[in-house]
Structure 1
Amino acid sequence: MTVSRAKQRQAESKINQVTQMAQTFTKPLGGWIATFQEAIGMSVPALAERLGVSRNSVYSSIQNEQAGTISLNQLDKMAEAMGGKLVYAIIPREGQVEEIVMAQARKKARRIIQRTRAHMALEEQTEGLRSQEEMVEELAGEIAREMPRDFWK
């Protein structure tokens, strides 16, 4: 196994592990700042004092988080001021990393096989071919293992 493939496997494993953990929680209705603040019993004035900002600035950050416009840096500062830490991840919407890779490999394999079958049909060489889906699955597996440079094109 190549070094890049080993690194990819380690990254896949990490993402899949985080994906399983992330399925147990969802963003609270009021956002994480307000929820953590409530959990530890810290008032907005106390948080503002720790951050060295105005109360309005804290309220703005809470609103920005709810609107999805807060920066990771700002969210990290808020967490630190409350004695917490920011944790974030990019995970698959559904399933595991391998499923994303295989879906892309299948797209690529379908294009290759459709093009090949079209050429074979022109030359009247289609008799005895396996089904297109069987061929797609076989080729997709090879493509996913190899991951050529143009994989995501």
Structure 2
Amino acid sequence: MSVSRAKQRQAQDRINQAASLAKSLAKPFGGWIATFQEAIGMNAPALAERLEVSRNTIYASIRNEQAGTISLNQLEKIAEAMGGRLVYAIVPREGPVEEIVLAQARTKARRIIQRTRAHMALEEQSEGLRSEAEMVEELAADIIREGRRDFWQ
């Protein structure tokens, strides 16, 4: 296995592990800032004092988090001020990350097979070919096995 392929495998394993953990970490209704404040018993004025900002800044941060517009930097500072730490990850919507790679490889393979079949049909050479689905699966597997990354283009 090449170094590049080994690194990709390690990254896939890490993402899949994070995805597993993320299933139990749905964002609370009021957001993480408000939930953490509640859990440790810290009110907005106390948090504002620790951060040396106004209460209104804290309330705005809570609203921004709920709206999805807070920056990671700001969220990290707030977490630290409350004795916590920010954890974030990008994980697949569903299933393991390998399924995303396979789906894209299949898309690329399907385009190649369809283009090739069109040319062969024009030259009347399409007689006796395997099914498109079989050819797509075989080519997609080859693309992945070779570690090609050009299928995202």
Q: Give the TM-score band, short-chain normalised.
A: over 0.9
Query: How many residues are treated as equivalent by the alignment?
Result: 153
Structure 1: tracts of 5 or more residues without a match: none
State the match for 1:104 in structure 2: 104
Q: Which moved more, 1:122-131 or 1:135-144?
A: 122-131
Q: CA RMSD in A?
A: 1.0
User: Aligned partners of 1:94, 1:120: CA distance in 2, in Å?
Assistant: 38
Q: Which moved more, 1:24-33 or 1:122-131?
A: 122-131
Q: Which moved more, 1:45-54 or 1:119-128?
A: 119-128
- TM-score of the pair, normalised by structure 2: 0.96
The amino acid across from 1:130 in the alignment is: R
State the match for 1:43 in structure 2: 43
State the match for 1:89 in structure 2: 89
The amino acid across from 2:67 in the alignment is: A
Say whether residues 1:72 and 2:78 are aligned partners.
no
State the match for 1:62 in structure 2: 62
- TM-score of the pair, normalised by structure 1: 0.96
Structure 2: tracts of 5 or more residues without a match: none
Shift of 1:119: 1.2
User: Aligned partners of 1:105, 1:10: CA distance in 2, in Å?
Assistant: 19
Q: Which moved more, 1:8-17 or 1:113-122?
A: 113-122
The amino acid across from 2:94 in the alignment is: E
The amino acid across from 1:44 in the alignment is: A
Shift of 1:96: 1.1
Whether the aligned pair in 1 keeps the contact of 2:5 and 2:147 (CA below 8 Å) is no
Say whether residues 1:5 and 2:17 are aligned partners.
no
State the match for 2:135 in structure 1: 135
Shift of 1:149: 4.4
User: Aligned partners of 1:26, 1:150: CA distance in 2, in Å?
Assistant: 34
Shift of 1:146: 2.0
The amino acid across from 2:146 in the alignment is: E
Shift of 1:93: 1.0
Q: Deviation string for 1:22-44 (max 9, x for gaps)?
A: 11121111100000100111111
Q: Which runs of 4+ in 1 moved over 6 A?
A: none
DSSP-derived class of the 2:151 partner? coil
The amino acid across from 1:5 in the alignment is: R
